[in-house]
Amino acid sequence: MSRPLILVTNDDGVNSKGILALIEIAQTFGDVFVVAPDGPQSGKSHAITLEKPFGKNFLLKTDSLTKYSCTGTPVDCVKMGLNMLMDKKPDIILSGINHGSNSSINVIYSGTMAAAIEGYMHGIPSIGFSLLDHSEDADFSACKQLLAKIVAMVLQKKETLCLNVNIPKLPASQIKGYKFCRQSNSNWQEKFVPADDNSDYYWMKGSFVNHDNSPDTDEWALDNGYVSIVPVQFDFTSYKTLETLKNIEL
């Protein structure tokens, strides 16, 4: 069997520590093709670039590693990889490792998770990885073995799925294991801080508010020292509300 072909992307940019760690993990499994933003694209969600062209920049090619950066969003990177840059469809897409959490409602704002979901929409097994450490210099060494197990599991299953994986900021020895879980119910509350005294510009500063501490949620898993794994889908329909609406006459 030929080595798997792995598309790697992220939202922190092609030179971030997180993606370098993920490329290392990916290279132990197969041939790696990187298409990642040329700079930070956090909070870009599923945004795509329609109003202007966007660019690619060839960085590197060896036998087992090809690397491009892209001036677009994380989802643009996946679309450009799949539809223009790659000769064949990848066996799996890995996105991250994100500097900071994408658990709970963060999934909806995250460029890292949007890239994984975009891959899944094209029928490709996809995993987004995030470490609960925002700092540019975060330590990803504990992640490598933990994440490799998940990649191995997904490659072996040969099932098209999408996973949102978050890793607590703990030494490897203190991580208790993995929990398959659901997204907890939460939101962000924002404050607006004036950028300076004489302008109408503001920094948006958010506080995360979790409304849901049930033991089957990702927030519970992370708070209790587990790696959280939430399988993700892209059907926004509220079937529960649909049932209640069906008898309404308009």
Identify residues 124-143 at the interface with a copy of itself (CB under 8 A): none
Instruction: Write the DSSP symbol of residue 249.
Output: -
Shortest Å distance, C-beta 179 to a copy of itself? 10
Shortest Å distance, C-beta 242 to a copy of itself? 5
**Region of 2-10, 15-23, 106-114, 166-174 interacting with a copy of itself (CB under 8 A):** 106-114
- From the number of C-beta atoms within 10 Å of its C-beta (0-12, 13-18, 19+), residue 9 rates as buried
Nearer to a copy of itself, 171 or 206 (CB): 206
To which H or E segment does residue 66 belong? Answer: strand 65-70
* Residues from 60 through 99 that contact a copy of itself (CB under 8 A): 71-73, 75-76, 79-80, 83-84
- Number of neighbouring beta carbons within 10 Å of residue 120: 23
The C-alpha angle with vertex 107 and arms to 159 and 227, in degrees rounded to 5, equals 65
CA distance 8 to 171: 25
Nearer to a copy of itself, 29 or 178 (CB): 178
* Residues from 7 through 36 that contact a copy of itself (CB under 8 A): none
According to the binding rule CB under 8 A, does residue 225 interact with a copy of itself?
no
Beta strands 65-70 and 92-99 are: unpaired
**# of chain residues touching a copy of itself (CB under 8 A):** 78
Region of 57 (left: φ > 0; alpha: ψ -120 to 50; beta: rest) is: beta
Among 177, 197, 198, 215, binds a copy of itself (CB under 8 A): 177
According to the binding rule CB under 8 A, does residue 210 interact with a copy of itself?
no
